Structure formats: C-alpha cells, structure tokens
C-alpha cells in the first residue's frame, strides 16, 4: 500500500511521526539510517496519505493516491475574521428563490464535502444531488405520505408500540415531543397547497449516505454536509440541514428505489440548497451551553 523511493528519502522520519499507526519508521542498518515500512503494522494503514503529503522529498507513494494530482500547500489567504464573519452570518435558509443552481456551483459544494475529515479514514460517504423539480416533487409526496402514516400510527396504541420497538424510547420521545407537533401543521399546509415545510421548495437537495456497516457513517455524513454548507455560503447560496428527510429515504421502499440507494447504505444527512429568498440583516448573539477549560 505504501512505497518508499529510497533514492529520494533522506530518512528524516517525519512520515512515521505524523502517521497515527507509525507505519513507516527509521531504523539503523549497517550504520545508516533508513526508512522502512513496519511489516507488523502495514495492514493498519488507512490510506490517509499523511506520509506522502508531509514528505519533504516526495519519496512516498500511497496506493490509490496519484502524486501527479498533488498540489503544493500554499499560504491561506482567508483570515480568522473573515472565517468567523462567514460563520456568524450563516443562517439556515428555509425560503428559496425559484432559481436553479448551476451544476458547476454544486460541484464546488461537493469539492468541499470531499475534504471533510472522515472517521476510520474511510472514503465511503456518498452524495446524491437532486436538482430535478419532478423528482423533488415525487420525493416530497412520498415523504409526506410517510409522516402522515406515522401520525396515524402514533395515535393507535398497538401501532405506537411497534414504532417504539423499532425506533427506541429516545427517538419516539423526539418524534412525539419535537417532530410531530410541527409535522401536523406541515402535513396540513402541504395538503392545502400552502407550503412545503420539509423540502421547502428548494431547487436542490443533497443527500449524504454511508454504508450501514461504516462505524462512523453518521458523523462522516454530517461533517461532509457542513463542509458543503460553508462552501455554499461563500458561493452566496443558502442551505438548511434537514433531519426529517433521511429517515424517509431509508425507510420508504419507493424512495430507496427513486434514489437508487444501495441496500447496504443509509442516508444520514440532507441539505436543502438554493439562493436565499430573503437576506438576514442582523447577526444575533449566540453561545453554546457551556465552555470550560480544565
């Protein structure tokens, strides 16, 4: 998986020092320092490419990473003030202009999503982009159908018991106390053709999916989505993270089919994306619940 070009390598040892598993190491052979690959640990390689990226001599090749595609690391032009201002001004956008988003801009959002750190270093996160209004409408109808049937089920003690068994006590509590009270209105407004409070008439929906077996799949999807959110912000687009859409994508067979979602995968994050209809004028104060140094 890793190859060292000993003609180029100066045995500085940085590659092994940055490697989480110390897969490369510098040893003494015939009174000379030489970088070797640990035969005990090579199977632990996650293919993260840190060794190749940090090597000052370009002496390391990692399988699957083409060094011709490497780019030199440059000085960052973005300042901490610019970054914080962007984060302060970002708000979840729930009303969009009826204006399509060019795919080249969507691809920039995807470029950012690719850059997210990933647990287990697996590159297993997938993205489905839906920018076809007809598909968005079909998807929307199917999602509302699911929530309508869930509303009915929660009103019936036996069906509620089955939902509790499947979802668990915590999720059922979230559904009953947080999701469904608003959802009852959403369903009514959708049926009355007043508004779509789930997909929010977004021109684009981005779904982040991962293998069910991926231990960090949910977190990977969320972090990728948040990388995308910040790129969208720079591109003057608005986004809203949406937790109502993924469960429907996973549970409704017609939606799985519509998305062509492989059986071993689930959608864990979703973003509605588009040009904001309204501009926020003020940055409001915001604090986490607690920050402590120990």
Ligand X SMILES: Cc1cc2nc3c(=O)[nH]c(=O)nc-3n(C[C@H](O)[C@H](O)[C@H](O)COP(=O)(O)O)c2cc1C
Spatial distance between the Cα atoms of 29 and 36, rounded to a whole number of angstroms: 10
Least gap, CB of 155 to ligand X (angstroms): 22
Least gap, CB of 242 to ligand X (angstroms): 4
Q: Note whether 61 and 3 are within 8 A (CB).
A: yes
Instruction: Tell me the CA distances in angstroms from 294 to 202, 289, 291, one per residue in order.
Output: 44, 16, 10
Q: Which of 106, 224, 242, 273 binds ligand X (CB under 6 A)?
A: 242
| Residue number, 57 or 176, with CB nearest to ligand X | 176
Least gap, CB of 69 to ligand X (angstroms): 33
| Residue number, 11 or 125, with CB nearest to ligand X | 125
Burial class (CB in 10 A: 0-12, 13-18, 19+), 216: middle
Q: Which stretch binds ligand X (CB under 6 A): 18-26, 141-149, 206-214, 240-248?
A: 240-248
| 94 forms part of the interface with ligand X (CB under 6 A) | yes
Q: Which of 40, 88, 141, 243 binds ligand X (CB under 6 A)?
A: 243
Phi-psi region of 262 (alpha: psi -120 to 50; beta: other; left: phi over 0): beta
| Residue number, 82 or 92, with CB nearest to ligand X | 92
| 275 forms part of the interface with ligand X (CB under 6 A) | no
Burial 59-84 (b: 16+ CB within 10 A, else e): bbbbeeeeeeeeeeeeeeeeeeeeee
- Number of residues lying near ligand X (CB under 6 A): 8
Q: Tokens in use for 6?
A: 């000993």
How do beta strands 60-62 and 2-4 pair?
Answer: antiparallel
Least gap, CB of 270 to ligand X (angstroms): 8
Q: Which of 85, 92, 98, 107 binds ligand X (CB under 6 A)?
A: 92
Where would I find the H helices in the chain?
14-18, 50-54, 80-89, 103-114, 133-154, 157-167, 169-174, 180-191, 217-234, 245-251, 253-259
Q: Which of 154, 241, 254, 258 binds ligand X (CB under 6 A)?
A: 241
| Residue number, 92 or 149, with CB nearest to ligand X | 92
| Residue number, 14 or 130, with CB nearest to ligand X | 130
Phi (first) and psi of residue 154, to 5 degrees: -70, -15
| Residue number, 5 or 243, with CB nearest to ligand X | 243
List contacts with ligand X (CB under 6 A).
91-92, 94, 240-244
């Amino acid at each position: 998986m890793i190859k060292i070009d000993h003609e180029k390598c100066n045995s500085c040892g940085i590659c092994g020092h940055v490697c989480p598993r110390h897969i490369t190491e510098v040893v003494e052979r015939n009174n000379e320092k030489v970088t070797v690959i640990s035969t005990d640990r090579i199977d632990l390689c996650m293919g993260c490419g840190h060794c190749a990226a940090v090597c000052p001599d370009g002496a390391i090749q990692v399988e699957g990473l083409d060094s011709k595609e490497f780019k030199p690391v440059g000085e960052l032009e973005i300042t901490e003030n610019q970054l914080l201002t962007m984060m302060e001004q970002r708000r979840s956008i729930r009303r969009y202009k009826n204006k399509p988003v060019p795919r080249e801009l969507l691809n920039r959002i995807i470029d950012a999503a690719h850059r997210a750190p990933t647990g287990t270093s697996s590159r297993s996160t997938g993205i489905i982009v839906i920018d076809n209004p007809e598909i968005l409408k079909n998807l929307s109808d199917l999602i509302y159908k699911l929530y309508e049937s869930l509303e009915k089920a929660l009103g019936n003690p036996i069906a509620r018991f089955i939902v509790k068994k499947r979802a668990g006590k915590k999720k059922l509590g979230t559904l009953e106390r947080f999701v469904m009270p608003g959802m009852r209105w959403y369903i009514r407004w959708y049926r009355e053709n007043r508004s779509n409070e789930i997909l929010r008439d977004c021109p684009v929906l981005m779904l982040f999916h991962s293998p069910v077996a991926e231990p960090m799949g949910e977190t990977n999807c969320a972090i990728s989505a948040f990388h995308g959110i910040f790129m969208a912000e720079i591109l003057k687009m608005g986004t809203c993270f949406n937790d109502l859409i993924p469960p429907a994508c996973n549970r409704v067979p017609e939606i799985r089919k519509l998305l062509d979602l492989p059986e071993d995968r689930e959608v864990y994050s979703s973003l509605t994306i588009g040009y904001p209809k309204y501009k926020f004028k003020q940055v409001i104060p915001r604090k986490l619940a607690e920050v402590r140094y120990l």
